[in-house]
Structures are given as C-alpha cells and as structure tokens.
C-alpha cells in the first residue's frame, strides 16, 4: 500500500510538534500490527512494516516450516514452503506479504488514534521537562484554585500547574484567586492530573535564592552562604562569609540603608532575618548565632558537637528566644547542641572562654522571650 501523503504528514508532525518521525513509525507499526490481527485473525503471526523511503505500508505474515502442520496460522509444510522458496528446510521461517486491499482504511483510523495519543504524551513530556528545568529556581505563579490541601498556581505561558501544599506555605499567609506569588520550585512530577510542579515558600532554599537574587556578591561568589536555619513565619538565621578579605559580607547582604535585606523581609512578611558572620572558630560562630545576646562564657566540645553557654541572668530569655526558637535556630545553624544557662558570679569557670558580644540584629524584643522554657 503506497501512501505518500501519510509520510508527508509524519514529516510535518516532526517539525511542528518536535516529535521524531522514527518514534511515530515504531508506535504505528506496533498499533497497525494489533489492528491487523484484530480484523484478520488474532492467531496469525504477522507484522506491519512502514517504509518512509518508499512511502509504503505493508503487512507480512510469517510461518515456521514443519514436517507435519498442526497450526495453519503459524506453520507451513515443507512442500508448500518450497513453492515460495526453493531452499526452504524444516525450522525456517517463510515470510510473505499479505496486505489486505482495504487495509488503508484501517491504517488511517489506527494512525489517527496513535498520532493523537503520541501528541498528548509528547506535550505532557515537554511540559514535564520544562517544569524540571525550573526546579531549583524562584518562579512567580498566579493563584488559580485553593482548597484545604494546597494552593494551585498557574506557572508560565503553557499554563502548567504549581502545587503549594499547606506544609509549604508560610504560617499566617492568606491567598486570593489572582494573586501573584513567588515560590521556590522544588521538583516536577507526573500524576493523573498531568505534569505538575511542587513549590514551596518555607524551604531554606527559598531563602538562599532570595539572597542570591538580591545580593550580586552572592551570585558572583565573592560572598558565600555557609548555612541557613529557618522556622518559616518566625525567624531565619543565615551565616555568610566573604572570599575577598576586603569585602564586608554582612554589609553586602544588608545593602545600602538595608535595601537588600528589607526587600527579602518584605517577601517573607513578619519573618525576621538574622545575618550572621561565619567563623571557623566554633566559639565565635556560636556566639554570633546567639546574638544579640551577650555571651559571658562558652565551653565547646568539638568531638561531641556540644556547647555550654553562660549569659547574664537578665539576658537568658533573650538567648533562648520565644518558644526556644533563638537557641534552636542557632543550634541548627552551627551544628552544635547548645545548652544556655544563666551565669552565676559565684560559680568558678574552669574551661570557659569569654566571648565578645557580636550584635547582628537588635530587633528582638526582650519581652517577646521567656526564660522558663524547658529545652
């Protein structure tokens, strides 16, 4: 069966849909083989061969040469086989073309179904690939739907869907249909709804990327983010250092009159941000992480990753923070288990080091914290 227009259509689909013609042909051969068997006998051993170079679609059947025929659909006698091919012997397979006259109609119907299915799959795969390329970046989506489980965002011109689950929403945030929302793209997935993108506003990577976008020195590598500790909606601590000794890492992150850090704070609502200078000296790093609390003494066991910190009695609640978040975040940031206690002047400090106070953020309100928290 010769069908030049059919193969021209495959060429056009390859150009317009970016789907390889070879993929179409492989699928069509399988589908047309099934269609042939369905219409002309399931038991037959047959296959369909598409030849783009000749613009032909042909059906071939094949039978095994045997001494005694038991299955006429799959076997052929040696005598009959030699009529087709003189050199035939038992065990050979004899192939001949058996393309039905009306196979063109069947081929057209089957091809239409296969092509539409392949186009849908290709569009879904292309969308999934496009979403995977967005992973690890901050993107903007438009709120299209809200339910108890998630906020659903329209992402990009292809109207792909981003899913902002409840656990990935900053506590206290409210969204309305049509709102534009910046989110961190975590991972793409393919499910019964099609290709979707899991996004987050609580991820620590969201903070990292916000700083990267707002602080050119972080983007170009002259300022490096060492670590991030975050309790979304409450507080974030981020430690940084400069690869250039002449550069002020904290100043670069804060920006002129606080412009850079304020832009990030505006994105996070009421969440506070502490920018901490990283130090490879554990005592200094831990003291900075607990700031603005004044540290009187500190003992560090680097092997067990534990630190005992003494602060002024009236600053204990400040060091601990509301519901323990200040010391908890400091521990996450530094990687040390931190035990904070009030300094007793009558107590002899045997293995402690005095640490100078490093003020990073004086926005914490003493009245906001309490000291009777059991850690």
Tell me which range, 50-59, 88-97, 246-255, 311-320, is most confidently predicted by mean pLDDT.
246-255
Contact 288/276 with Cβ under 8 angstroms?
yes
CA pair distance 145, 161, nearest whole angstrom: 10
Residues 6+ positions from 221 with CB-CB distance below 8 Å: 243
What is the mean pLDDT of the segment spanning 60-82? Answer: 87
In a shared domain, residues 15 and 64: yes
Q: What is the CATH classification number for the domain harbouring 372?
A: 3.30.300.20
In a shared domain, residues 141 and 254: no
Q: Is the peptide bond before 292 cis (omega within 30 degrees of 0)?
A: yes
pLDDT of residue 145: 93
- The number of distinct structural domains making up the chain is 4
pLDDT of residue 352: 46
Which residue from 58, 55, 21 is spatially nearest to 36, judged by alpha carbons?
58
The distance between the two most distant Cα atoms of the chain, rounded to a whole number of Å, is: 114
In a shared domain, residues 264 and 325: no
CA pair distance 71, 59, nearest whole angstrom: 20
Q: Where are the alpha helices (DSSP H) in the chain?
A: 4-17, 21-40, 78-84, 103-134, 204-214, 216-219, 249-254, 259-268, 282-290, 316-320, 325-334
Is 355's pLDDT higher than 70? no
What is the mean pLDDT of the segment spanning 151-166? Answer: 85
Q: In what order do the strands lie in the sheet with 223-231?
A: 223-231, 235-242, 272-277
Contact 153/135 with Cβ under 8 angstroms?
no
CA pair distance 269, 290, nearest whole angstrom: 23
In a shared domain, residues 247 and 344: no
In a shared domain, residues 9 and 115: yes
Last-in-domain residue among 202, 234, 258: 202
β-pair partners for 180 = 142
In a shared domain, residues 287 and 342: yes
Can you tell me which residue has the tokens 């002020």? 248
Residue 223 phi/psi, 5° resolution? -120, 130
For the chain, the distance separating the N- and C-terminal CA atoms, rounded to the nearest angstrom, is 81
Is 56's pLDDT higher than 80? yes
What is the mean pLDDT of the segment spanning 80-93? Answer: 88
In a shared domain, residues 13 and 80: yes
Is 192's pLDDT higher than 70? no
Per-residue pLDDT band for 158 (boundaries 50, 70, 90) equals low
Q: What is the CATH classification number for the domain harbouring 73?
A: 3.30.1480.10
Per-residue pLDDT band for 43 (boundaries 50, 70, 90) equals low
Number of residues that make up the chain: 375
Which residue from 123, 126, 129, 159 is spatially nearest to 144, judged by alpha carbons?
159
In a shared domain, residues 179 and 120: no
In a shared domain, residues 305 and 330: yes
In a shared domain, residues 261 and 289: no
| Domain containing residue 337 | 279-375
In a shared domain, residues 240 and 161: no
Last-in-domain residue among 276, 310, 326: 276
What is the mean pLDDT of the segment spanning 238-262? Answer: 94
Last-in-domain residue among 245, 276, 307: 276
Is 16's pLDDT higher than 80? no
In a shared domain, residues 168 and 112: no
The DSSP secondary-structure symbol of 148 reads: S
């Amino acid at each position: 069966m010769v069908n030049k227009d059919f193969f021209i259509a495959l060429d056009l689909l390859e150009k317009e849909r970016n789907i390889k013609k070879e993929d179409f042909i492989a699928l069509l051969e399988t589908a047309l083989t099934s269609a042939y068997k369905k219409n002309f006998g399931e038991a037959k051993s047959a296959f369909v061969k598409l030849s783009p170079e000749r613009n032909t679609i042909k059906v071939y059947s094949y039978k095994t040469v045997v001494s005694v025929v038991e299955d006429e659909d799959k076997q052929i006698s040696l005598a009959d086989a030699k009529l087709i091919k003189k050199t035939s012997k038992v065990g050979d397979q004899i192939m001949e073309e058996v393309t039905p006259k009306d196979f063109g109609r069947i081929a057209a119907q089957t091809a239409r179904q296969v092509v539409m299915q392949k186009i849908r799959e290709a569009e879904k795969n292309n969308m999934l690939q496009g979403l995977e390329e967005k992973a690890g970046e901050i993107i903007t989506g438009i709120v299209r739907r809200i339910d108890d489980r998630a906020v659903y965002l329209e992402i990009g011109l292809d109207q792909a869907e981003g899913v902002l689950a409840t656990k990935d929403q900053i506590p206290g945030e409210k969204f309305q249909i049509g709102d534009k929302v910046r989110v961190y793209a975590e991972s793409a997935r393919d499910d019964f709804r099609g290709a979707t993108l899991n996004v987050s506003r609580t991820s620590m990577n969201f903070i990292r990327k916000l700083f990267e976008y707002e602080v050119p020195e972080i983007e170009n590598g002259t300022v490096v983010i060492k670590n991030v500790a975050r309790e979304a909606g409450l507080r974030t601590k981020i430690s940084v250092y400069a690869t250039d000794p002449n550069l002020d890492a904290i100043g670069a992150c804060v920006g002129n009159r606080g412009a850079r850090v304020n832009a990030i704070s505006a994105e996070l609502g009421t969440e506070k941000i502490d920018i901490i200078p990283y130090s490879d000296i554990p005592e200094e790093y831990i003291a900075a992480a607990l700031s603005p609390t004044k540290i009187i003494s500190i003992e560090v066991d680097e092997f067990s990753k534990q630190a005992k910190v003494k602060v002024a009695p009236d600053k204990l609640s400040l060091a601990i923070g509301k519901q323990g978040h200040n010391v908890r975040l400091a521990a996450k940031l530094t990687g040390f288990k931190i035990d904070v206690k009030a300094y007793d002047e009558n107590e002899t400090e045997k293995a402690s080091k005095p640490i100078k106070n490093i003020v990073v953020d004086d926005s914490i309100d003493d009245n906001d914290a309490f000291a009777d928290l059991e850690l």
